[in-house]
Structure 1
Amino acid sequence: MSDPRLAEMISKMAHELRSPLTSVKGFSSMLIKRWDRFTDEQRFQFVETIHHDAERMSRIVSEVLDLARLESGRLELHKANHELGPIVERASHNVAMLPGAARIASSVPEGLIVEADAERLESVLTNLLENAVKFSDDGPISLEASASGALVEIKVIDRGVGVESGREDEIFQGPQPTRADAAMPTGGGLGLYLARGVLEAHGGSISLEADEDANGSKGATFIVTLPGRGAA
């Protein structure tokens, strides 16, 4: 990737920091100035939001650093055998406060093992779920996992606006408008670009299938494969 292209992508990801940073500043300012006006429940909700957005900012910073490492060939993975279920649970928790996140349904067999850097796989799945929530309006979102031989396959499926036919691979090349009826949200394309690099470094892959059901409802299915195995 050229330096101008890298700079553009990092700039877009830095822009992603603005929303959670504004939230943290706003809620913390209200607590400082009007502490006595809020109930204990309200204070807890504010602090919970601050904590969630601080975690989101931390993930974004980690992704910027990983992007730089990936582009320079210095991305180091700390792979081990991990049960997939808890990683999926953490990724779901990361997006739990997004509007519409309650529509996510996960199906992960107990004892499903992946050979992966757990923190980076969590980041990849968080990005996929966040992307699905942003693009699926009120439609259902599902995460399904299964084992096939020496590979584990993870699918994130939404019934959102879909992807323009013939452009399925472009969505992994960086921030650009790729969904049929909407531009890619700032940072979304970068998250997918990074996801591909991280998964390929694992010896895995990520691909996209554009969907359309019998009723003409569009959607997208992201398919992640990683070395792993089913329950013994």
Structure 2
Amino acid sequence: MSSGDAGLGEDHRAHDVNSRSANGASPPHPEDHAPGVDPDDLPEGLVVADGTGRVVCFNAAAARLTGRSPAEAVGGSLQHALPLEDMHGRRWWQVTDPYGGLATRTGQPERNLLLPGGREVLVAARYIRAQPLGPLQRLVVTLRSTEARRRAERSHAELIATVAHELRSPLTSVKGFTATLLAKWERFTDDQKRLMLETVDADANRVTRLIAELLDISRIDSGRLEVRRQPVDMAAAVRRHIDAHIAAGRSADRFVTRVTGPLPGLWADPDKIDQVLGNLLENAVRHGEGTVTIEVAPAPLRSDEEGTAVTVSDEGPGIPEESMSRVFTRFWRGSKRGGTGLGLYIVKGIVEAHGGTITVGRAVAGGAQFRFTLPVGAPAFLG
């Protein structure tokens, strides 16, 4: 195409962006509300055809997705610029017939279609008419890559596979022990029965925790994680978790607590703060080494707001620099395998639901260091 043709294409694109209907009314069009917007600035592919099916706009994102240059597409037919097929191999524009079909149609919902070579794109179309039931004046088509959807599908598939794997072991144990006890109850001593029942109880608790994690993820992803704020004594909460680890058989010498006061009054969800502290301490104990240090201190967030910061550090090998950006993503696990890899993702969701932040870095002793900061907050009944 010559430079003159390219200029004509740009004229057509500008004409499309600023066009008006024949009766002087302005058809609903995004650019009409944002004068001066260049279609090439849009993050999604945009293709616009006029009333005859001739392409008058083919932006840069559409060019990237289709591999066809705007100079090649503008001025040509829509079917040539976008040779789309559905999953059954049918030519899409012949199937939908936007110019000759029912005049009551207003567009096509987004769906997966195929470009030449089998590349998938998400395509939606809007039919713009000068008046209801009138002829099609303009056809606006949007194109999006399917990569984001595929990532979400892979994430969901991985979540299902992880859950199935984590559930299989405890449920197999529960089923095996209960079936054995029911079939041969009289053959076991009381001590053997107690051991079996304690194992069943522990495995049932494991299943309950996994289900709770799944519910938390669902609420975090949908933005429905509720925070029921009450007064929280963060220093006391930390001491309570350390006492629980000591009661479970870990040495008291492994924990060091430093509280810098006075701490501002904190309104937060006690159960969820316990979940955050429990997860961070468990990670430090299981995956770290040496002394686990927990520091609690006031943290000024802004000139007009106070907060509380909690830092959990260990003396283990730490987290590799290249992995730090992935620590709070789903299914991330350190060098030691085990668990679902969902705990830190949930921790981040809980902290952010409180309006706080959480970071990961390297401790002075070389291990991992997690630091979360929470704003003072307000009682739930004032929220």
Fold similarity call, TM over 0.5? yes
Using structure 1 for the length normalisation, give the TM-score: 0.72
> Contact 2:235 / 2:296 at 8 angstroms: preserved in 1?
no
The structure with the larger Rg is: 2
Q: By how many angstroms is 1:3 displaced?
A: 3.8
Superposition map of 1:132-151 within 5 A: 132-137=284-289, 139-149=290-300, 150-151=306-307
| Secondary structure, aligned partner of 2:332 | coil
Match of 2:279 among 122, 127, 132: 127
Offset from partner CA, 1:53-112 (integer Å, 9 cap, x none): 644543332121010111112211112221124433554466568775756525264885
Residue of 354, 367, 370 corresponding to 1:219: 367
Residue of structure 1 equivalent to 2:352: 200
Return the structure number with greater relative CO, CA threshold 8 A, min gap 6. Answer: 1
Q: 1:204, CA displacement in angstroms?
A: 0.6
CA contact (8 A) 1:160 1:220 kept: yes
Residue 116 of structure 1 corresponds to: 268
Give the distance between the partners of 1:144 and 1:35, measured in 2 at CA. Answer: 49
Aligned to 1:64: 214
Taking a change above 3 Å as real, the CA distance of residues 192 and 80 of structure 1, as seen in their structure-2 partners, is same
Change beyond 3 A, Cα 1:167–1:198: same
**Aligned counterpart, 2:159:** 9
CA distance in structure 1 between the partners assigned to 2:268 and 2:240 by the alignment: 15
2:287 and 2:336 in contact (8 A); partners too: no
**Structure 2 residues not aligned, in runs of 5+:** 1-150, 301-305, 378-383
Tell me how far apart the structure 2 counterparts of residues 102 and 115 of structure 1 sit (CA, whole Å). 29
- State the percentage of identical aligned residues: 35
Query: Comparing 72-81 with 10-19, which one deviates more in the overlay?
Result: 10-19
Q: In structure 2, what is the equivalent of residue 174 of structure 1? A: 330
- 2:95 matched residue in structure 1: none
Distance 1:103 1:14 in 2: 38
- Name the residue aligned to 1:186: 339
Alignment RMSD (CA, Å): 3.8
Q: 1:49 to 1:84 in 2, by over 3 A?
A: farther
Q: Counterpart amino acid of 2:156? A: L
TM-score, normalised by the number of residues in structure 2: 0.47
Distance 1:48 1:117 in 2: 31
Q: Secondary structure at the match of 1:169?
A: helix
Q: Do the aligned residues in 1 keep the contact of 2:230 with 2:269 (CA within 8 Å)?
A: yes
**Displacement, 1:11?**
3.8
Please list every run of 5 or more consecutive structure 1 residues that lacks an aligned counterpart in the other structure. none
Residues 101/223 of structure 1: CA separation in 2 closer, same or farther (3 Å cut): farther
1:112-148 alpha-carbon deviations (Å, 9 max, x no partner)? 54321111111111111121122124x1212221123
2:191 counterpart (38, 44, 58): 38
Q: Distance in 1 between matches of 2:267 and 2:364?
A: 33
Given that residues 288 and 368 in structure 2 are in contact (C-alpha distance below 8 angstroms), is that contact kept between their aligned partners in structure 1?
Answer: no
**Deviation (angstroms), 1:152:** 0.6
Greater fraction helix? 1
Letter in 2 for 1:175: F
**Which residue is equivalent to 1:162?**
318
Following TM superposition, by how much is the alpha carbon of 1:38 offset from its aligned partner in structure 2, in angstroms?
Answer: 2.8
* Alignment of structure 1 residues 42-53 onto 2, 5 Å: none
Alignment coverage as a number of residue pairs: 217
C-alpha displacement of 1:199: 0.6
Whether the 8 Å CA contact 1:157–1:221 is kept in 2: the answer is yes
Distance change >3 Å, CA 166–CA 52, structure 1 → 2 = same
The equivalent residue for 1:105 is 255
